[in-house]
Amino acid sequence: MSHDLSNYRKSYEKKELLKSNCPENPIELFRDWFFAADASEMVVESNAMNVSSIGLDGFPKNRIVLLKKYTWEGFIFYTNYNSEKGKAILNNGNVCLSFFWAGLEQQIIIKGKAEKLAENLSDGYFESRPDGSKLGAWASNQSETVNSRKQLDTQLKETSDKFEGKEITRPPHWGGFIVKPISIEFWQGRPNRMHDRIRYTLEEDFSWKMERLAP
């Protein structure tokens, strides 16, 4: 079976990205773009981002997770440290994050080093989660094979019974990663595939070098 997609084309014409209008620190530009995406009816989940890591098998793998916080230091998300994703990142912290807001014709690509978040910060976020999500973090051995959906439902029921009337504490195998960026690229779609690409690269003195890239 084949399906020819060669005639799928879209002209990007909504905005422009000029180097003269970019701040010195890329986190400021990220904040501005994120606020605009979050307020836009054309973006469903503004904090949905792709995380790319190098697996223990040597292959790259991408998956969508939710950004939960960003600071001047980096970008924070949470996961099971024993999952395929968690093990890959703990083994090799070189990761890439990317946001694609199709309705705004924008992408942000972030290369950085992922580190485990401080335990007290993971505790604080875990406490803010709904009880169902807390129980799921205990019940699911993320990325391991299971026999059936019934097995998952049984594990969740057993976990719920175990914590009935008790505080649901954070599992030691669950917590956050902070990705500290070394480069951030902002991509704005433009007509004729002549897209605007502005890349910030972190220098040794912790300043940011800004460059325009060819599309």
- Sequence spans of domains, the chain: 19-213
Per annotation, catalytic residue among 31, 63, 193, 212:
193
Please state which of the ranges 10-19, 100-109, 112-121, 164-173 shows the lowest mean pLDDT.
10-19
CATH of 19-213, one of 3.30.565.10, 3.40.190.10, 3.40.50.1110, 2.30.110.10: 2.30.110.10
Residue 65: Cβ-neighbour burial (10 angstroms; 0-12, 13-18, 19+): middle
pLDDT at 4 over 90: no
Q: Report the pLDDT value the prediction gives residue 186, as an integer from 0 to 100.
A: 98
pLDDT at 6 over 90: no
Structure confidence at residue 198 as a pLDDT band (50, 70, 90): very high
Instruction: Indicate if 193 belongs to the active site.
Output: yes
Kindly report, residue by residue over 23-34, the tens digit of the pLDDT.
Answer: 999 999 999 999
| Contact by Cβ (8 Å): 129, 169 | no
Two tokens at 35? 């606020």
Kindly report, residue by residue over 163-175, the tens digit of the pLDDT.
Answer: 999 999 999 999 9
Two tokens at 84? 């395929």
Kindly report, residue by residue over 55-105, the tens digit of the pLDDT.
Answer: 999 999 999 999 999 999 999 999 999 999 999 999 999 999 999 999 999
